[in-house]
Structure 1
Amino acid sequence: MSKPESAGFIIFRRLEQNPIEYLLLQTPIGKQHWTPPKGHLEADESPLQAAERETKEEAGLEKSDFEYYDKFEETITYDCNGRPKIVAYYLGRLRNAEQSIQLSDEHHNLCWSTLEDACRIANHSETQNVIRKADEFIQKNL
């Protein structure tokens, strides 16, 4: 498989007496799709380093703000303007479920969504599938 050109984190939280919620950000461009924090790799950057940097830039979350699960890594490929785009996703649990998110100017909205709602608002089936795989991992392992 080719090297990912983008990477991101599926960030989740657990609130007392509530189901798991996933962080999604809405882009102001084009169809204004919803996606976990992600972005392009910079020169000599590993996918994990890019995912950490992009999560900080787009959501204001430092590495220390979430617990990283190194046993989960999923790579998706989807069509982006007529060419394949490869994205690596990692999984992180917000340590403080009440922590506020600092949205970057690259996005104009954010939401915390249950699995069902996240899959409903995420436009791409590949994004829906990776969120479902993250949920399966959480249910089995955490």
Structure 2
Amino acid sequence: MALRACGLIIFRRHLIPKMDNTAVEFLLLQASDGIHHWTPPKGHVEPGESDLDTALRETQEEAGIEAGQLTIIEGFRRELNYVAWEKPKTVIYWLAEVKDYDVEVRLSPEHQAYRWLGLDEACQLAQFKDLKAVLQEGHQFLCSTAP
């Protein structure tokens, strides 16, 4: 049976002065172990827990950001299927915007660093092509639905 994990692609927007343009920055966390890879907060589904509840719980545990500090973006949900540690794995991501641009990020021991990054920088740090594709799709979705 495939491992199942869920997470949130957390982002914030800020106005770029003089350009009348909004930039999107994604939150990536650096793992404390293994290859120190960078990913959005995510984790395994616990018995009786919904996928979205898992994503919200993991975000609070790993980044210290609570559900009430986020707005889940309707219409965006992506499922990745790959092999990790020689086992099939499914990861489901939603887009979530922080309500406060300066939200405090409090890392769990599972992570050693975090960064807010534009799309290009986020894709450079994300070592897995599936994750890069999800970040690009999320960015494109946000740009196509911007107010």
Normalised by the length of structure 1, the TM-score is 0.94
Whether the 8 Å contact between 1:4 and 1:88 is mirrored in structure 2 is: no
Output the CA distance in 2 between the equivalents of 1:103 and 1:38: 13
Whether the 8 Å contact between 1:7 and 1:48 is mirrored in structure 2 is: yes
RMSD: 1.4
Ranges of 4+ aligned residues in structure 1 off by more than 6 Å: none
One-letter code aligned to 2:43: G
Whether the 8 Å contact between 2:46 and 2:54 is mirrored in structure 1 is: yes
Q: Deviations over 1:76-103 (max 9, x none)?
A: 0122012221000011011111111111
Structure 2 vs 1, CA of residues 53 and 139 (structure 1 numbering), >3 Å: closer, same or farther?
same
Alignment map for 1:34-45 (pairs within 5 Å): 34-45=38-49
Whether the 8 Å contact between 1:25 and 1:36 is mirrored in structure 2 is: yes
Whether the 8 Å contact between 2:25 and 2:118 is mirrored in structure 1 is: yes
Q: Which range moved further: 12-21 or 92-101?
A: 12-21
Matched, 1:47 2:51: yes
The answer for the alignment partner of 2:31 in structure 1 is 27
Output the CA distance in 2 between the equivalents of 1:4 and 1:68: 24
Output the CA distance in 2 between the equivalents of 1:131 and 1:81: 23
- TM-superposed CA distance for 1:57, in Å, is 0.6
Alignment map for 1:1-142 (pairs within 5 Å): 5-17=4-16, 19-142=23-146
Unaligned stretches of 5+ in structure 1?
none
Length, aligned pairs only: 141
Output the CA distance in 1 between the equivalents of 2:4 and 2:35: 21
Residue identity over aligned pairs, in percent, reads: 36
Output the CA distance in 1 between the equivalents of 2:14 and 2:62: 22
One-letter code aligned to 2:126: A
Larger radius of gyration: 2
Q: Which range moved further: 56-65 or 16-25?
A: 16-25
